[in-house]
Amino acid sequence: MPETVELDRSALARRGRRLEYFTIAWNSLEGVVGIGAGVMAGSISLIAFGIDSFIEITSGSVLLWRMSSDSDKERREKREAIALKIVGVCFLALCLYVAYEAITTLSKHEAPERSIAGIVLAIASLVVMPLLARAKRRVGNQMGSVAMAADAKQSEFCYYLSAILLAGLALNAAFGLWWADPVAALAMVPLIAHEGIEALQGETCRD
């Protein structure tokens, strides 16, 4: 019996690692396109979205490291706790950056340009992220890994950010509402803060 359990765990950890490789690859693209298009268009919400991709890469890499030592229970638990803390700190750093940039942009009345690349990126993430989040959540639940579940939330959260991003970019492109972009970025802040605080307070063992 215990052998079956171990086998299941190692299969799940392998699946977890595959999902994290995909996360890292996708977000490298998302980050480069987001920041590139964001800088070109002067869009704070797009730049914030791009930076969030690098947070997702950090989170994904940490989880990859966590999933590669799953067979050793002691190491597993140690890595689980460290992974969760790193993910939490990443969220809070992003939160501060976005709040600062959005407020600066609003106070300077900086209008972003239209960004078709940004709109295409937001739509692509809107499609991919819910699927990725669901797959990760399933692995996290089956393994009882809170860090994996927190990482799944990062992907889920990227989905919300894509929706907000798309709204800001579309309102600006269609109606020239310059403030829609920084306001969209500000709308992301409480969501990001909440996730960061939750990860930092996170209990690594479930009751």
Query: Which residues make up the interface to Zn ion (CB under 5 A)?
Result: 53, 56, 158
Which whole-number Å values give the CA distances from 28 to 59, 76, 126, 148, 195, in the listed order? 13, 27, 16, 20, 22
Cβ distance to Zn ion smaller for residue 13 or 192: 192
Least distance from C-beta 158 to Zn ion, angstroms?
A: 3
Cβ distance to Zn ion smaller for residue 13 or 121: 121
| Angle at which helices 116-143 and 44-67 cross, to 10° | 30
Least distance from C-beta 49 to Zn ion, angstroms?
A: 6
Tokens of 171: 């309102």
Cβ distance to Zn ion smaller for residue 154 or 204: 154
Q: Which of 136, 14, 9, 17 is nearest to 65 (CA)?
A: 17
Output the residue with the shortest Cβ distance to Zn ion: 158
Least distance from C-beta 137 to Zn ion, angstroms?
A: 16
Least distance from C-beta 50 to Zn ion, angstroms?
A: 8
H or E, element range at 26: helix 2-41
Cβ distance to Zn ion smaller for residue 12 or 164: 164
3-state secondary structure 114-178: CCHHHHHHHHHHHHHHHHHHHHHHHHHHHHCCHHHHHHHHHHHHHHHHHHHHHHHHHHHHHHCCC
Least distance from C-beta 154 to Zn ion, angstroms?
A: 8
Cβ distance to Zn ion smaller for residue 56 or 101: 56
